[in-house]
Each structure stands twice: as C-alpha cells, then as structure tokens.
Amino acid sequence: MMDNKLKDREELLQERLEKIRDIEQEILQKEKAIKDKEKSRKQIVLRLAPSLWQELAAWAEKDFRSINSQIEYLLTECVKKHKL
C-alpha cells in the first residue's frame, strides 16, 4: 500500500519536473529570439561619391572601425544631437 503511494507520488513529481523543464526550454527559446531580434540590423543601399567614401574610409581607419561601423556611429551621433 505504502509502495503504491510512493510510486504514484514519484510519478506525479516526475510529470511536474518534465513540465517545468518544458516551460524552461520555452522561456530560453523566447529569450534567444528576443536577443536575436535586438541584434539584427536593417540593411540599406547607400550610394556615396567616391571622394566621400575615401574620406569616410580614412576616418574609419583612424578610429579603428569598419566603414560600416563608422557610418553607423556618425548617424547615431547625429540623431542624438537632433533630439536635443
């Protein structure tokens, strides 16, 4: 009699544990999706005059950035100043 109660209790606890693990997996997947979304970047086509490109490339190299990072940095700074 006592053995059956213990087995039933153990089975119930195992089921609950499985549900908790499933919920934990679901939460981790949602967190990853949110992080991936935050990390994603929008792509645009940007046409620049060759002279401007050369100036940006030199500036980026001086600041140890890629040209893309330099443009993003400059745009971010301009937006910050615009908001003031």
Q: What is the pTM of this model?
A: 0.53
Q: Are 52 and 66 contained in the same domain?
A: yes
Q: Read off the CATH number of the domain in which 73 is found.
A: 1.10.1220
* pLDDT tens digit sequence for 49-60: 999 999 999 999
Over 80: is that where the pLDDT of 1 sits?
no
Q: What's the pLDDT at 19?
A: 95
3 or 46, which is more confident: 46
Q: Are 33 and 56 contained in the same domain?
A: no
Name the residue range of residue 31's domain.
1-40
Do 25 and 32 form a contact (C-beta atoms < 8 A)? Answer: no
